[in-house]
Structure formats: structure tokens, C-alpha cells
């Protein structure tokens, strides 16, 4: 690139930054105000992930392991789910940890600037267009409907940014046989996000298939054999090499995904039944899916004019229409959409929406190149089109004004507003193109810029309109600043406040009212139980529920549990927004936090648990029946293995008048998981029991969305307790619900627990923890004992006892155990993601294979040999995919419309 032309590459970047800054200024978003861009999952999940990224980049944590959440969790899948290995994340080397949430607006700008740059490189490298067209389409890619609609999943933009570059190298590979760039970029994309990259591979298969199909059908018109035009063998080899090169991270990611609660919640029943289930799903979900078309009015207008102008060129028309049908069908037919998303998606339709913008623009660019037009106008036309342009700008400003001054809008209202806006601008563009015979005045680009600002004002940042996503309390990001304030007031994190004698990695905290959201441990840098990363084992969720803790969707929550289970899991301190029972907790500190957006204050209390067991226990057996056992039987089995006696620490009670003997903590639960029925009220001695849930600390209805398992009723000693339970067959909104509930009441004997915690001989003389390695010096009285660790089991754990490798034994999904010998045992407990060693080996082999391939590709012509059979095979595969993935779902969709299926 010559220096004098470098401004051409810089201008799309600068315009992208300028337009986004205008949007930020209008909405008061950081750095032009105190508002942040967190919305939907960004704050509760994605932003929390970036705290993990930050800690890794600053040398505080292992990238593939997090001790702060879900009883310590494998983060291999999260390296794809949040693109932890993306080069974009180097951004967090230059950000203060407490500013991560604020900085995401700058992070978004950075990614969008790169998106516009790489789109410019693609358009400039592939087509001969006027520079203004190049800029419009490049900036438009950064503000495409996909970004507007799903920017909150900001990690996916890493792959979207690289996508145009990959497509440019794909073109060079297919037409010129040059494969180095394709291998490099596809490998980087696979490493950043295998999920998004697999969708891109589907796109490549389909679009190359479209080109092959059209070349074959119109072979005579083209004048060449269709199979002479593409280096398909090189495409296959380069793709396989990229997959092999990225195996070091993709294999452990896939293995964890297949064993996660998220995957186990998806379709089951075999391949055929899954296929039938998908194609029979005809009704599209989420009206907002159509927002993937935002910003495409201009490109669609060009396509309409191009199709009309070149209507006699059959190949041009068919190839354009077929490509559009392939990429736009997922907006129309749900079955096609599900196939693109591997059978299921939740909350985020059209996760490949950047491909829609790219495809439409590529088709438009092809027509522009054929038209050889530029953005200019004649003198006679100028005045009329200035008026039209000015009138359109006034219309767009009016839409923005009406939207900003309309209260009570819902998502559907806003969808209608944006749709009307796109329709109007589309008509304007069509009128100009047809009356100017393919020419477009340059100043019409102002309309495109105004559309971008309007749609960005509506879509980016927390929306003003009402939707389910904005109303869910867990979507709010204020817990992040609250965690930072609490850490400053209470000295909570295990990085700054641990020492050799007081390692806080062995001391968990709990937030029973869930006011700090499920991923607060990642922000706080202190081990907790709760988690929401989608990649938890279903065994962990099951067993946490068995111990009395709440589970919601793929979340694990701090609410629920009992004083005994808390002690087992190493919970030593509790952070609560409501005062807690002094029978169980000792108040250490209290402080007030301030919501930085609303200014609202909230008091938080830090309690020390009165009943604490050491992190890691020597037990004589680990045959706890989590699968079939009840909470009571599991509690008693664990207690007996620790204490060495046959007494029961937990017992079942009857609802009504309870005669309490001794000192006992009493809990109510009904085995209701992932529900927000809110149909039950619990009364103890005439007082209503609180069931605190996220943002509802005074809630008294059970089961709550974030508190649906064991509920603490109080501690009682040698007295009669009156317990009444009122269960209704409607929820709090009056909707009829199933009430097949079997409520249970249990007690935990606090005298026995106190005796256990005081007399328990802590046989672990030394505990050390750093990154993904734990070290213990353990003394066992006999052979056949186990070190029981409150670390959720993962196949990646390894253990050495006195230098000899030992199997780490799963105790359900919630504990891990290591067999120990009589006498002194030095234990090193480590972690490497399951499948990573094999993946690294495969990747190293891949490097060798790439070197061989590139050498022979340069020295010989063996990969350019005509292989007609490969082209025929590819053509047949494409036809089969079109039949099973497109035509069959379309047939079912039509039949469902006419009520035949």
C-alpha cells in the first residue's frame, strides 16, 4: 500500500469511529457520559468473562481454569464462548480492572473500526468501484444489522471482523490457488470461536456450491468447463489444515461442550428424530430476527436495479437470486434457521447475521461493477435530488425525535418504526437509481450515515423501549460496580488479601439473596458457588440441587443450601443485603454501596459463618448416592463418612406443629428447580418467611426465579414450632399452574455440627493454591481413606500422591476425591483441559503438514491437477444439502401454513 493512498484505508475507520461517537454522545455513553452499553447478557455474562481475560493477561490466573466460580470450573469452552484467545483481547492490557465494564464501549468501537477496515480491504481488493461506494459498504458492515442487534455478544464480533478478510483469501484460493492467507485467517477464527467458525464453513460450502451450480447450469454461456474454474482440492486441504492447526483448543472446547448442561438441554432422540424435529419447526421465533437487514436498504436498491438492468443475463440473475435465497431463507423458515444454528438457539436469532450483510453487499458490488457507475449526478438532476436528500434527512431526524419522545414503546413498536424507516429509504434509493439510470449523487451518502446514526441511537446501549430482555433483573450490570465497592470495603479478593497463613482461595463466600448475580465471583476474585457460563456439567447442577441449592436454566446459584452444605463446600463468609440470623453467622462489617447510574444506596453486611469445616476433608468412604439419594440421605452419608459415627445429622419433619428436640436449623424445600411459580407462602409461628431473589430481597413468595430450593426457616431449640404452608394453583400473575408439589421440611442438628467443626481433626497441615495447581500435605490414619475436595469434578483433573499418579475420583459432580495412604501424603492436584494434550499433539502435526503442503505446492503442480470427480462430488453434496436443509424445511413450512402438518 502506497503512503499517498493510505488515507483511503484510514477514512472508513475514522468515519466508523465518528458515527459511533455521535451515537455515544446522544445517549450519554462512556466516555461521553456515565451510561454503559451493557444490555441483556453483556453484563451478567460477557463482561464477567472479560474479568477472567484480564486476570489471565495480567498473570493472575490460568486461562483454562477459574477457581472463583462454580466450585472451580474448566474454562476451555469459554475461550471460544468469549474468544479469550482473540488478539482483540490485548485491549485489556491497557485498561484498569475496575473500568472493564465502562471500557466495553471503547472495545466495541475498536472492533467496529477493524470490521470497517477489513471490509474495505475486501471490497477494494475484489471490485473496481468508486471510492465512495467502497466507504459506504465498509462503514455499513461495521454498523450492520447483526452488530446493531447482537452487539451485546461482543465476543462474536472478533470473528465477524475477520470474515471479509477470509472471504478475500477464499477468492484468491479458488481462483489463483493461493492458500496461505486462507489457512492463517481460518485458523485464527477457529481459535477465537469454533462455534462461529463452523457456521462460516457452512457458508463457504453453500456459496461455493452456488457458484459451481450456476457455472454448471450456464456452462455454455460461460465458455469454460465449470470444473476448470476452482481449486477445490486446495480448498479442502487448506480447510482441513486449519482445523488441525486449531485442534489444540477446539478439541477440549468441543469435549466440554458435549458434556455440558447447555448441550444436554438441546434436542435428543437420535439424528433422524432431531432432523424431523427441526424441519417440522415451521413458525419463526423472534420478530427481531428481521433486524439483521438493518442498513441494507441501499444495497437492496442497487440489487433491484441491477436485476432489472441485467434481466436478460440468466446466469447473473440466477446466481444473485440463489445466493440471496440461501442466506435469507433463515429469516423466513425456522427449520433453515435451526440448521444454521446446529439445531437450537436461545435468545439470539441469526447469529450469523454479518454473513447476510456481506452477501447482499457482495451482490450489490457485482452489479455496480457491471454498471460501471459512480456517485455523481448531472447538473440538471442536482437540484431535485438535493431536495429529495434533504427531505429524507428531515424524515430520519423526525423518526429519531418521535422515538426519543415516545414512552411505553415495546419491541414490536420499535420494529415497526425501523421497518418503516428502511422501506422509505429503500424507495428513495430505488427512485434515484432508476431516474438517474444507475447513477447515485454522492451526497446521498448522507442518508446512509443518518440511517446508521438513527438505528444506532435506537439499538446500541440499554434500549428505551420495553422488552423481556430489559425487564429481567439479572440483565442489569450494577452488580459489577457493587462488587468493586464491596471488595474495597470488606477486603474480599484472594489476590490482594491472601497470604501463606490465610489463603482466600480456600475460603469461599456466598451471596444468598443473589443480589450480586451469578457471575460475581469472576469480578470479585473470590471463590463462590454460583455461576453462569453455559458450560457447567449437568452432574454439578444435579448434585448442587440435591444439596439444596437453587438452579435456574444453566445457572448455578448461591441461594438455598443449608448450614451443613455450606460448611462442606468451604463457605466461610456471607455477603448479604439483608440481616442474617446470628445463630448461624457473626457480623464482621457493614457498608453502603451506591448504584453509579441511579445513585441509589444499599446496605451490605459481611458475616463470618459460625460453622466451618476445612477445605478438604479426610473421609473413610465416598459412596454417596447423588443419583438416587435424597437430601437427607446424602447429608447423613457424608456426615457419617467425616465423623466416623453412625448418627444422622439431618432428619425429616412434618408440616404443622414441630416438636424440636435440641438445637436445630430448619429448612423447607420442594425439589422445584428452574421455576418462578411464586405460588407458595410459608409461615413460621405466624410470621411470613422471606424468600429473597434477585432484586427482590423482600419477596415472600416461593419458589422464586432465583430461589427455588431449600429455604431457611430459622434455628430453634427445645421448643414447639408452628409451620404452615399455603400452596395455590396460580402464580402471582393469576395464571393457572401445575401444583404437583411434595413439600418437605428437614432439620440439621446444630449441636452435632458444632461438635464436628470443633473436634474435627484437620489432618491437612499445608494448603497451597496457585492458578490451576493445588498442593496439600495430608496425614491419614489408615489406608482406604480419601481426600474429599469441594472442587466440582472435571475430567481434566490430575493428582499425584507422594509423586505417584493417582486417579481423581468423581464424587457425583460436585466433589472430587483422591485416595490417600496411611501416614503422610504430599498431594499435587492439577488441571489440564480434557483433550488439550491430544489437541496440542495434533496441532504440532498440523504445523508439519502445512510446511510439507506449502513446499510441494510451491515446487510442484500436484495440487492443481484437474480433478473432475471432485467437482462432481462437491456439486452432488451441494444439491443434497439444498434438498435436506432448504427444500424440505420449505415444504414443511408451506404445509404448516395451510394446516396440513
Q: How far apart are CA 532 and CA 75, in angstroms?
A: 12
Higher pLDDT, 263 or 118: 118
Instruction: Identify the CA nearest to 745 among candidates 658, 675, 679, 686.
Output: 658
Q: How far apart are CA 699 and CA 506, in angstroms?
A: 32
Residue pLDDT, tens place only, 153-204? 999 999 999 999 999 999 999 988 899 999 999 999 999 999 999 999 999 9
Instruction: Identify the CA nearest to 240 among candidates 840, 836, 845.
Output: 845
Peptide bond into 622 cis (omega under 30): no
**pLDDT-derived band at 264, boundaries 50, 70, 90:** low
Residue pLDDT, tens place only, 673-726? 777 778 889 999 999 999 999 889 999 999 988 999 999 999 999 999 999 998
Q: How far apart are CA 350 and CA 380, in angstroms?
A: 44
119, 124, 126, 130 alpha-carbon torsion, rounded to 10°: 120
Averaged pLDDT of the chain: 89
Element (H, E) at 328: helix 314-332
Q: What does the pLDDT read at residue 476?
A: 84
Q: Is the pLDDT of residue 37 over 80?
A: yes
Residue pLDDT, tens place only, 516-570? 999 999 999 999 999 988 788 889 999 999 999 999 888 999 999 999 999 999 9
Q: Is the pLDDT of residue 377 over 50?
A: no
Q: What does the pLDDT read at residue 225?
A: 56
Q: What does the pLDDT read at residue 674?
A: 74
Asked if 323 contacts 212 with a C-beta cutoff of 8 angstroms, the reply is: no
Q: Is the pLDDT of residue 370 over 70?
A: yes
Q: Residue 135 burial by CB count (10 A; 0-12/13-18/19+): exposed, middle or buried? A: buried
The mean per-residue pLDDT over the stretch 855-859 comes to 82
Q: What does the pLDDT read at residue 374?
A: 43
**pLDDT-derived band at 796, boundaries 50, 70, 90:** very high
Instruction: Identify the CA nearest to 476 among candidates 31, 83, 35, 33.
Output: 35
Q: What does the pLDDT read at residue 640?
A: 94
Note the helical H segments in 492-559: 520-524, 538-546
Q: Is the pLDDT of residue 897 over 80?
A: no
Q: Is the pLDDT of residue 255 over 90?
A: no
Q: How far apart are CA 426 and CA 442, in angstroms?
A: 16
Higher pLDDT, 64 or 408: 64
**pLDDT-derived band at 270, boundaries 50, 70, 90:** low
Q: Report in angstroms the alpha-carbon separations of 664 from 567, 653, 661, 747.
A: 15, 11, 8, 6
Which three-class secondary structure state does DSSP give residue 165? Answer: helix
DSSP 424-455: HHHHHHHHHHHHTTT---GGGHHHHHHHHHHH
Q: Is the pLDDT of residue 1 over 50?
A: no
Q: Residue 738 burial by CB count (10 A; 0-12/13-18/19+): exposed, middle or buried? A: exposed
Peptide bond into 151 cis (omega under 30): no
Q: How far apart are CA 322 and CA 207, in angstroms?
A: 9
Q: How far apart are CA 272 and CA 900, in angstroms?
A: 21
Asked if 839 contacts 247 with a C-beta cutoff of 8 angstroms, the reply is: yes
Q: Is the pLDDT of residue 263 over 70?
A: no
Q: What does the pLDDT read at residue 222?
A: 52
The conformation of residue 602, written as its DSSP 8-state character, comes to E
Spell out the residues 6+ positions from residue 216 whose beta carbon is closer than 8 angstroms to its own. Answer: 226, 875
Higher pLDDT, 267 or 236: 236
Q: Could you report how far apart the first and last alpha carbons of the chain are, in Å?
A: 58
Q: What does the pLDDT read at residue 223?
A: 52
Residue pLDDT, tens place only, 93-144? 999 999 999 999 999 999 999 999 999 999 999 999 999 999 999 999 999 9
Strand order in the sheet with 744-749: 650-653, 744-749, 656-669, 711-727, 680-684, 687-688
Q: Is the pLDDT of residue 381 over 70?
A: no
Residue pLDDT, tens place only, 633-683? 999 999 999 988 889 999 999 999 999 999 999 999 887 677 777 888 999
**pLDDT-derived band at 371, boundaries 50, 70, 90:** confident
Q: Is the pLDDT of residue 380 over 60?
A: no
Q: What does the pLDDT read at residue 375?
A: 44
Amino acid at each position: 500500500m502506497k503512503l499517498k493512498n493510505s488515507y483511503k484505508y484510514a477514512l472508513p475507520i475514522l468515519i466508523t469511529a465518528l458515527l459511533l461517537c455521535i451515537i455515544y454522545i446522544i445517549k450519554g455513553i462512556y466516555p461521553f457520559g456515565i451510561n454503559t452499553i451493557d444490555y441483556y447478557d453483556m453484563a451478567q455474562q460477557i463482561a464477567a468473562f472479560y474479568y477472567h481475560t484480564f486476570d489471565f493477561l495480567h498473570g493472575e490466573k490460568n486461562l483454562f481454569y477459574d477457581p472463583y466460580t462454580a466450585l472451580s470450573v474448566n474454562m476451555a469452552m469459554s475461550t471460544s464462548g468469549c474468544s479469550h484467545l482473540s488478539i482483540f483481547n490485548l485491549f485489556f492490557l491497557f485498561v484498569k480492572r475496575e473500568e472493564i465494564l465502562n471500557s466495553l464501549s471503547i472495545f466495541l468501537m475498536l472492533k467496529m473500526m477493524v470490521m470497517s477496515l477489513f471490509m474495505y480491504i475486501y471490497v477494494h481488493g475484489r471490485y473496481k468501484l468508486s471510492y465512495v461506494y467502497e466507504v459506504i459498504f465498509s462503514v455499513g458492515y461495521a454498523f450492520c444489522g447483526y452488530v446493531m442487534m447482537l452487539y451485546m455478544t461482543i465476543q462474536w464480533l472478533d470473528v465477524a471482523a475477520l470474515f471479509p478478510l477470509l472471504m478475500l483469501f477464499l477468492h484468491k484460493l479458488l481462483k489463483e490457488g493461493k492458500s496461505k492467507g486462507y489457512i492463517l485467517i481460518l485458523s485464527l477464527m477457529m481459535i477465537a470461536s469454533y462455534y462461529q467458525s463452523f457456521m462460516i464453513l457452512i457458508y463457504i460450502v453453500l456459496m461455493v456450491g452456488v457458484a459451481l451450480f450456476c457455472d454448471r447450469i450456464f456452462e455454455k454461456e460461460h465458455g469454460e468447463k465449470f470444473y476448470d474454474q476452482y481449486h477445490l482440492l486446495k480448498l479442502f486441504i487448506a480447510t482441513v489444515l486449519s482445523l488441525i492447526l486449531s485442534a489444540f483448543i477446539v478439541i477440549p472446547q468441543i469435549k466440554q461442550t458435549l458434556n455440558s448442561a447447555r448441550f444436554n438441554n438441546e434436542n435428543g432422540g437420535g439424528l433422524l428424530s432431531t432432523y424431523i424435529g427441526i424441519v417440522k419447526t415451521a413458525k419463526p421465533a423472534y420478530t427481531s430476527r428481521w433486524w439483521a437487514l438493518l442498513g441494507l436498504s441501499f444495497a437492496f436498491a442497487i440489487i433491484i436495479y441491477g436485476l432489472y438492468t441485467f434481466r436478460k443475463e440468466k446466469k447473473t440473475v440466477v446466481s444473485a437470486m440463489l445466493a440471496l435465497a440461501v442466506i435469507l431463507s433463515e429469516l423466513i423458515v425456522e427449520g433453515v434457521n435451526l440448521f444454521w444454528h446446529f439445531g437450537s438457539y436461545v435468545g439470539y436469532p441469526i447469529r450469523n447475521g454479518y454473513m447476510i450483510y456481506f452477501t447482499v453487499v457482495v451482490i450489490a458490488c457485482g452489479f455496480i461493477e457491471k454498471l460501471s457507475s459512480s456517485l455523481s449526478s448531472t447538473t440538471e438532476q442536482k437540484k431535485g435530488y438535493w431536495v429529495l436528500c434533504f427531505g429524507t434527512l428531515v424524515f430520519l431526524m423526525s423518526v429519531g425525535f418521535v422515538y426519543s419522545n415516545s414512552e411505553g414503546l415495546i419491541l414490536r413498536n420499535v420494529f415497526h418504526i425501523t421497518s418503516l424507516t428502511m422501506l422509505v429509504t429503500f424507495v428513495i434509493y430505488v427512485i434515484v437509481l432508476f431516474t438517474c439510470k444507475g447513477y447515485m449523487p454522492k451526497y446521498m451518502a448522507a442518508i446512509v450515515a443518518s440511517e446508521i446514526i438513527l438505528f444506532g441511537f435506537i439499538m446500541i446501549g440499554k434500549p428505551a423501549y420495553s422488552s423481556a430482555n430489559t425487564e429481567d433483573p439479572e440483565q442489569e450490570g450494577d452488580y459489577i460496580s457493587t462488587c468493586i465497592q464491596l471488595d474495597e470495603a470488606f477486603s474480599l479478593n484472594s489476590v490482594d488479601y491472601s497470604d501463606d497463613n490465610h489463603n482466600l482461595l480456600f475460603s469461599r463466600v456466598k451471596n444468598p439473596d443473589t443480589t450480586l448475580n451469578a457471575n460475581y465471583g469472576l469480578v470479585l476474585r473470590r471463590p463462590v458457588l454460583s455461576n453462569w457460563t453455559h458450560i457447567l456439567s449437568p452432574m454439578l447442577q444435579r448434585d448442587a440441587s440435591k444439596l439444596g441449592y437453587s438452579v435456574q436454566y444453566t445457572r448455578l446459584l448461591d441461594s438455598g443450601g443449608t448450614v451443613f452444605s455450606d460448611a462442606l463446600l468451604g463457605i466461610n463468609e456471607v455477603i448479604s443485603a439483608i440481616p442474617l440470623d446470628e445463630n448461624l453467622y457473626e457480623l464482621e462489617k457493614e457498608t453502603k454501596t451506591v448504584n453509579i447510574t441511579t445513585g441509589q444506596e444499599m446496605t451490605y453486611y459481611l458475616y463470618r459463618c459460625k460453622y466451618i469445616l476445612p477445605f478438604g476433608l479426610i473421609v473413610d468412604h465416598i459412596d454417596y448416592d447423588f443419583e438416587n439419594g435424597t437430601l437427607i440421605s446424602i447429608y447423613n452419608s457424608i456426615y457419617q463418612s467425616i465423623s466416623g459415627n453412625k448418627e444422622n445429622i439431618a432428619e425429616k419433619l412434618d408440616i404443622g406443629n414441630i416438636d424440636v428436640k435440641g438445637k436445630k436449623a430448619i429448612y423447607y424445600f420442594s425439589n422445584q428447580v428452574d421455576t418462578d411459580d411464586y405460588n407458595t407462602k410459608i409461615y413460621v409461628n405466624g410470621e411470613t418467611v422471606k424468600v429473597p431473589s434477585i432484586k427482590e430481597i423482600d419477596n415472600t413468595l416461593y419458589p422464586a426465579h432465583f430461589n427455588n430450593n431449600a429455604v431457611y426457616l430459622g434455628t430453634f431449640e427445645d421448643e414447639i414450632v408452628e409451620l404452615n404452608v399455603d400452596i395455590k394453583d396460580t402464580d402471582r400473575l393469576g395464571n393457572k399452574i401445575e401444583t404437583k408439589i411434595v413439600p418437605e421440611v428437614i432439620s440439621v442438628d446444630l449441636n452435632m455440627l458444632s461438635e464436628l467443626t470443633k473436634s474435627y481433626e484437620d489432618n491437612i497441615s499445608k494448603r497451597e493454591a496457585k492458578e490451576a495447581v493445588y498442593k496439600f500435605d495430608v496425614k491419614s490414619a489408615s489406608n482406604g481413606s480419601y481426600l474429599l475436595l469441594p472442587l466440582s469434578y472435571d475430567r481434566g483433573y490430575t493428582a499425584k500422591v507422594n509423586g505417584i499418579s493417582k486417579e481423581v475420583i468423581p464424587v457425583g459432580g460436585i466433589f472430587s476425591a483422591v485416595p490417600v495412604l496411611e501416614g503422610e501424603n504430599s498431594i499435587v492436584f492439577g488441571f489440564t483441559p480434557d483433550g488439550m494434550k491430544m489437541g496440542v499433539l495434533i496441532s504440532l502435526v498440523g504445523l508439519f503438514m502445512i510446511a510439507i503442503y506449502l513446499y510441494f505446492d510451491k515446487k510442484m503442480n500436484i495440487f492443481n491437477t484437474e480433478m473432475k470427480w471432485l467437482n462432481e462430488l462437491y456439486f452432488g453434496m451441494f444439491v443434497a444439502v439444498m434438498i435436506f436443509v432448504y427444500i424440505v424445511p420449505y415444504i414443511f413450512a408451506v404445509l404448516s401454513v395451510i394446516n396440513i402438518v
